[in-house]
Structure 1
Protein backbone atom coordinates (compact mmCIF):
# COMPACT_ATOMS: atom_id res chain seq x y z
CA UNK A 1 0.00 0.00 0.00
CA UNK A 2 2.82 2.44 0.85
CA UNK A 3 4.54 1.70 -2.47
CA UNK A 4 1.26 2.37 -4.30
CA UNK A 5 0.84 5.73 -2.55
CA UNK A 6 4.45 6.64 -3.30
CA UNK A 7 3.98 5.71 -6.96
CA UNK A 8 0.82 7.83 -7.22
CA UNK A 9 2.61 10.73 -5.52
CA UNK A 10 5.55 10.44 -7.94
CA UNK A 11 3.14 10.43 -10.90
CA UNK A 12 1.28 13.39 -9.47
CA UNK A 13 4.51 15.30 -8.88
CA UNK A 14 5.70 14.52 -12.41
CA UNK A 15 2.39 15.76 -13.82
CA UNK A 16 2.51 18.91 -11.70
CA UNK A 17 6.09 19.61 -12.76
CA UNK A 18 5.15 19.26 -16.42
CA UNK A 19 2.22 21.64 -15.96
CA UNK A 20 4.43 24.12 -14.08
CA UNK A 21 6.93 24.04 -16.94
CA UNK A 22 4.16 24.68 -19.46
CA UNK A 23 2.70 27.55 -17.47
CA UNK A 24 6.15 29.05 -16.95
CA UNK A 25 6.86 29.05 -20.70
CA UNK A 26 3.39 30.29 -21.73
CA UNK A 27 2.62 32.51 -18.73
CA UNK A 28 0.88 35.83 -19.04
CA UNK A 29 -1.86 37.05 -21.29
CA UNK A 30 0.29 37.83 -24.33
CA UNK A 31 2.36 34.80 -25.31
CA UNK A 32 -0.41 32.64 -26.70
CA UNK A 33 -1.96 35.65 -28.40
CA UNK A 34 1.41 36.41 -30.02
CA UNK A 35 1.71 32.86 -31.28
CA UNK A 36 -1.80 32.98 -32.73
CA UNK A 37 -1.11 36.30 -34.48
CA UNK A 38 2.18 35.05 -35.93
CA UNK A 39 0.42 32.00 -37.43
CA UNK A 40 -0.45 34.23 -40.41
CA UNK A 41 3.24 34.66 -41.20
CA UNK A 42 6.20 36.89 -40.36
CA UNK A 43 5.40 40.31 -38.94
CA UNK A 44 7.30 43.40 -37.96
CA UNK A 45 7.27 44.70 -34.39
CA UNK A 46 4.83 47.57 -35.09
CA UNK A 47 2.47 45.25 -36.97
CA UNK A 48 2.36 42.94 -33.98
CA UNK A 49 1.79 45.83 -31.60
CA UNK A 50 -1.10 47.16 -33.72
CA UNK A 51 -2.65 43.68 -33.85
CA UNK A 52 -2.53 43.28 -30.07
CA UNK A 53 -3.78 46.83 -29.41
CA UNK A 54 -3.21 47.13 -25.63
CA UNK A 55 0.35 45.79 -25.37
CA UNK A 56 3.11 48.28 -24.61
CA UNK A 57 6.35 48.22 -26.62
CA UNK A 58 8.32 47.25 -23.50
CA UNK A 59 6.06 44.27 -22.74
CA UNK A 60 5.94 43.19 -26.38
CA UNK A 61 9.72 43.26 -26.59
CA UNK A 62 10.04 41.16 -23.43
CA UNK A 63 7.42 38.64 -24.57
CA UNK A 64 9.03 38.22 -27.99
CA UNK A 65 12.44 37.75 -26.36
CA UNK A 66 11.05 35.05 -24.05
CA UNK A 67 9.32 33.28 -26.94
CA UNK A 68 12.60 33.41 -28.85
CA UNK A 69 14.50 31.94 -25.88
CA UNK A 70 11.98 29.10 -25.70
CA UNK A 71 12.35 28.45 -29.44
CA UNK A 72 8.82 29.42 -30.49
CA UNK A 73 9.80 32.55 -32.41
CA UNK A 74 12.67 33.50 -34.71
CA UNK A 75 13.82 37.10 -34.95
CA UNK A 76 15.20 37.90 -38.40
CA UNK A 77 17.22 41.03 -39.11
CA UNK A 78 17.52 42.15 -42.73
CA UNK A 79 20.33 44.33 -44.00
CA UNK A 80 18.15 47.09 -45.40
CA UNK A 81 18.00 50.79 -44.78
CA UNK A 82 16.44 51.27 -42.35
CA UNK A 83 17.08 47.85 -40.84
CA UNK A 84 14.06 45.54 -41.11
CA UNK A 85 13.32 43.11 -38.28
CA UNK A 86 10.63 40.45 -38.51
CA UNK A 87 9.35 37.82 -36.14
CA UNK A 88 8.05 34.45 -37.24
CA UNK A 89 7.09 31.15 -35.70
CA UNK A 90 9.48 28.23 -35.63
CA UNK A 91 8.39 24.76 -36.73
CA UNK A 92 8.57 23.81 -33.02
CA UNK A 93 5.74 26.27 -32.25
CA UNK A 94 3.35 23.94 -34.12
CA UNK A 95 3.58 21.62 -31.09
CA UNK A 96 1.34 24.17 -29.34
CA UNK A 97 -1.43 23.85 -31.95
CA UNK A 98 -3.46 21.21 -30.04
CA UNK A 99 -3.18 23.25 -26.83
CA UNK A 100 -4.24 26.48 -28.52
CA UNK A 101 -7.09 24.71 -30.31
CA UNK A 102 -8.30 23.23 -27.02
CA UNK A 103 -8.13 26.65 -25.36
CA UNK A 104 -10.10 28.17 -28.24
CA UNK A 105 -12.79 25.48 -28.08
CA UNK A 106 -13.08 25.79 -24.32
CA UNK A 107 -13.25 29.60 -24.59
CA UNK A 108 -16.12 29.42 -27.09
CA UNK A 109 -17.95 26.90 -24.90
CA UNK A 110 -17.38 28.96 -21.75
CA UNK A 111 -18.55 32.21 -23.37
CA UNK A 112 -21.72 30.50 -24.61
CA UNK A 113 -22.36 29.08 -21.14
CA UNK A 114 -21.92 32.46 -19.44
CA UNK A 115 -24.07 34.29 -22.01
CA UNK A 116 -26.81 31.66 -21.67
CA UNK A 117 -26.60 31.76 -17.88
CA UNK A 118 -26.97 35.56 -17.84
CA UNK A 119 -29.82 35.41 -20.35
CA UNK A 120 -31.62 32.85 -18.17
CA UNK A 121 -31.07 35.01 -15.07
CA UNK A 122 -32.53 38.07 -16.79
CA UNK A 123 -35.58 36.10 -17.97
CA UNK A 124 -36.34 35.05 -14.38
CA UNK A 125 -36.35 38.65 -13.14
CA UNK A 126 -39.85 40.14 -12.65
Structure 2
Protein backbone atom coordinates (compact mmCIF):
# COMPACT_ATOMS: atom_id res chain seq x y z
CA UNK A 1 0.00 0.00 0.00
CA UNK A 2 1.33 3.38 -1.01
CA UNK A 3 1.70 5.98 1.74
CA UNK A 4 0.50 9.49 1.12
CA UNK A 5 2.83 12.36 1.78
CA UNK A 6 1.56 14.81 4.39
CA UNK A 7 0.68 17.33 1.66
CA UNK A 8 -1.17 14.69 -0.38
CA UNK A 9 -3.08 13.64 2.72
CA UNK A 10 -4.09 17.25 3.46
CA UNK A 11 -5.22 17.77 -0.14
CA UNK A 12 -7.21 14.52 -0.07
CA UNK A 13 -8.97 15.52 3.15
CA UNK A 14 -9.63 19.04 1.86
CA UNK A 15 -11.05 17.71 -1.41
CA UNK A 16 -13.36 15.23 0.32
CA UNK A 17 -14.56 17.92 2.73
CA UNK A 18 -15.20 20.41 -0.06
CA UNK A 19 -17.40 17.95 -1.94
CA UNK A 20 -19.29 16.61 1.07
CA UNK A 21 -22.97 17.51 1.03
CA UNK A 22 -24.53 19.01 4.13
CA UNK A 23 -27.35 17.10 5.77
CA UNK A 24 -30.70 17.98 4.19
CA UNK A 25 -31.75 19.51 7.51
CA UNK A 26 -28.96 22.06 6.92
CA UNK A 27 -30.22 23.06 3.46
CA UNK A 28 -32.52 25.89 4.54
CA UNK A 29 -34.28 26.29 1.19
CA UNK A 30 -35.57 22.73 1.61
CA UNK A 31 -35.82 22.35 5.38
CA UNK A 32 -37.60 25.67 5.92
CA UNK A 33 -40.18 24.99 3.22
CA UNK A 34 -40.99 21.63 4.78
CA UNK A 35 -41.17 23.33 8.17
CA UNK A 36 -43.77 25.84 6.92
CA UNK A 37 -45.85 23.01 5.48
CA UNK A 38 -45.65 21.03 8.72
CA UNK A 39 -46.76 24.09 10.71
CA UNK A 40 -49.66 24.67 8.34
CA UNK A 41 -50.76 21.06 8.69
CA UNK A 42 -50.64 21.30 12.50
CA UNK A 43 -52.68 24.51 12.41
CA UNK A 44 -55.29 22.83 10.20
CA UNK A 45 -55.44 19.89 12.61
CA UNK A 46 -55.98 22.15 15.62
CA UNK A 47 -58.40 24.65 14.06
CA UNK A 48 -61.80 23.54 12.74
CA UNK A 49 -62.25 26.69 10.64
CA UNK A 50 -59.07 26.10 8.60
CA UNK A 51 -58.19 23.42 6.05
CA UNK A 52 -54.77 22.46 4.76
CA UNK A 53 -54.13 22.96 1.05
CA UNK A 54 -52.97 19.35 0.70
CA UNK A 55 -52.58 19.29 -3.07
CA UNK A 56 -50.32 22.35 -2.96
CA UNK A 57 -48.28 20.77 -0.18
CA UNK A 58 -47.85 17.52 -2.11
CA UNK A 59 -46.86 19.40 -5.28
CA UNK A 60 -44.37 21.51 -3.37
CA UNK A 61 -42.96 18.42 -1.67
CA UNK A 62 -42.31 16.88 -5.10
CA UNK A 63 -40.63 20.11 -6.19
CA UNK A 64 -38.45 20.07 -3.08
CA UNK A 65 -37.50 16.45 -3.75
CA UNK A 66 -36.51 17.42 -7.29
CA UNK A 67 -34.51 20.37 -5.92
CA UNK A 68 -32.71 18.03 -3.50
CA UNK A 69 -31.96 15.63 -6.37
CA UNK A 70 -30.53 18.52 -8.41
CA UNK A 71 -28.27 19.30 -5.43
CA UNK A 72 -26.91 15.75 -5.57
CA UNK A 73 -29.03 13.98 -2.94
CA UNK A 74 -30.19 10.45 -3.75
CA UNK A 75 -33.77 9.25 -3.44
CA UNK A 76 -32.71 7.20 -0.42
CA UNK A 77 -31.18 10.24 1.28
CA UNK A 78 -34.36 12.22 0.67
CA UNK A 79 -36.61 9.40 1.93
CA UNK A 80 -34.46 8.94 5.02
CA UNK A 81 -34.72 12.65 5.81
CA UNK A 82 -38.50 12.79 5.28
CA UNK A 83 -39.26 9.60 7.23
CA UNK A 84 -36.73 10.05 10.05
CA UNK A 85 -38.22 9.97 13.55
CA UNK A 86 -35.33 12.18 14.65
CA UNK A 87 -36.16 14.80 12.00
CA UNK A 88 -39.86 14.65 12.88
CA UNK A 89 -39.02 15.23 16.55
CA UNK A 90 -36.72 18.11 15.59
CA UNK A 91 -39.45 19.69 13.45
CA UNK A 92 -41.99 19.28 16.27
CA UNK A 93 -39.65 20.94 18.77
CA UNK A 94 -38.86 23.75 16.33
CA UNK A 95 -42.57 24.17 15.54
CA UNK A 96 -43.64 24.30 19.17
CA UNK A 97 -41.00 26.95 19.89
CA UNK A 98 -42.02 28.97 16.83
CA UNK A 99 -45.72 28.81 17.67
CA UNK A 100 -45.07 29.69 21.31
CA UNK A 101 -43.10 32.75 20.14
CA UNK A 102 -46.27 33.81 18.29
CA UNK A 103 -48.51 33.25 21.30
CA UNK A 104 -49.97 29.96 20.02
CA UNK A 105 -50.45 27.23 22.62
CA UNK A 106 -52.12 23.85 22.83
CA UNK A 107 -53.63 24.95 26.15
CA UNK A 108 -55.55 27.67 24.28
CA UNK A 109 -56.66 26.00 21.02
CA UNK A 110 -58.30 29.13 19.60
CA UNK A 111 -54.83 30.67 19.29
CA UNK A 112 -54.19 28.27 16.41
CA UNK A 113 -57.20 29.71 14.56
CA UNK A 114 -56.25 33.32 15.26
CA UNK A 115 -52.69 32.73 14.08
CA UNK A 116 -53.76 30.61 11.08
CA UNK A 117 -56.28 33.16 9.82
CA UNK A 118 -53.70 35.93 10.16
CA UNK A 119 -51.21 33.84 8.14
CA UNK A 120 -53.84 33.22 5.43
CA UNK A 121 -54.56 36.95 5.29
CA UNK A 122 -50.84 37.73 4.96
CA UNK A 123 -50.39 34.95 2.36
CA UNK A 124 -47.25 34.03 4.28
CA UNK A 125 -45.18 30.89 3.76
CA UNK A 126 -47.51 29.18 6.26
CA UNK A 127 -50.69 30.84 5.01
CA UNK A 128 -50.02 29.66 1.47
CA UNK A 129 -50.69 26.11 2.70
CA UNK A 130 -53.95 27.01 4.44
CA UNK A 131 -57.47 28.05 3.49
CA UNK A 132 -60.40 29.20 5.58
CA UNK A 133 -63.42 26.88 5.48
Query: Normalising by the residue count of structure 2, what TM-score does the alignment of the two structures yield?
Result: 0.31
Higher relative contact order (CA 8 A, sep 6+): 2
Structure with the higher fraction of residues in strand conformation: 1
Query: Normalising by the residue count of structure 1, what TM-score does the alignment of the two structures yield?
Result: 0.32
